[in-house]
Amino acid sequence: MKKTFMIAVLAVMLVPHYTDCQTRFGIGVRGGIVADYDNPEFSLPHKLDIDQLTVVGGHVQFGGFPIFTLELAVESRTRTEEMTFLGAKTSAEVKDLMIAANLKYLFRIPVITPYIGGGIASHNLNYEYNAAVEWLNPEGAIHIPDDGSRFGVHGIAGVALGFAASPIELFIEGRIGRIEGDEESAKYKAVYGGVTLRLL
């Protein structure tokens, strides 16, 4: 009788963990802003400063462990600023196509799942500056970095909201990151949210 009871207790304990460990797969979309883009290698006239970028993207999630999720994400982060002086337009633009791999540690509780994590990324950066007249581009006052790919790292914290009976999971997330430059690193903070469709 005692042996049967022990087996029953072990079964109750192990079955939920086994279920959690099944491979999970999901796809989703996201959007938000880079709220504090600070790139010391990119200098512009004050009225054209770019310190915020709009974020849109998508992700794929894989989970084979109870508390970890691997996420592959692609984000397009862009911003264009324009200034008109004496009828002439001057503009600056930043484009950042980010491809990232993130590992998230999940604190699983019913309905709400807080998480922390980090990741690495490739940032394909493109900068443009169009001066309407020559004197709006004084030597030394404007510096535009070379276009190209840069390595980045970032930390993540967020919370996901989902129900067992629904394949839809909502999330809101914050990120602090750094992008390597030729001489100095760019730093940024981002806030965004999205939805994940859990397929498995």
Decide which of 11 and 108 is more confident: 108
Residue 46 has pLDDT above 60, yes or no: yes
176-182, Cβ contacts within 8 angstroms, sequence gap of 24 or more: 177/121, 177/152, 177/153, 178/152, 178/153, 178/154, 179/39, 179/123, 179/125, 179/150, 179/151, 179/152, 180/150, 180/151, 180/152, 181/39, 181/40, 181/41, 181/145, 181/150, 182/41, 182/145, 182/146
How many domains does one find in the chain? 1
Query: What tokens were used for 18?
Result: 């086994």
Decide which of 27 and 182 is more confident: 27
Q: What is the CATH number of the domain that holds 64?
A: 2.40.160.20
pLDDT score for 9: 34
Domain assignment of residue 10, yes or no: no
Residue-range definition of the domain harbouring residue 161: 21-198
- Predicted confidence (pLDDT) per residue in 110-143, tens digit: 789 999 999 999 999 999 888 766 555 555 567 8
Domain assignment of residue 3, yes or no: no
* Strand locations in the chain (E): 24-34, 53-63, 68-85, 88-106, 112-130, 148-162, 168-179, 186-198
Residue 24 has pLDDT above 80, yes or no: no
Average pLDDT across the chain, whole number: 83
32, 47, 61, 135, 198 from 111: Cα distances, Å: 23, 45, 18, 59, 14
Q: Choose among 34, 74, 38, 176: nearest CA to 116.
A: 176
- Mean pLDDT over 181-186 rounds to 89
Domain assignment of residue 162, yes or no: yes
Domain assignment of residue 153, yes or no: yes
Decide which of 68 and 117 is more confident: 117
CB-count burial class (<10 Å; 0-12, 13-18, 19+) for 91: middle
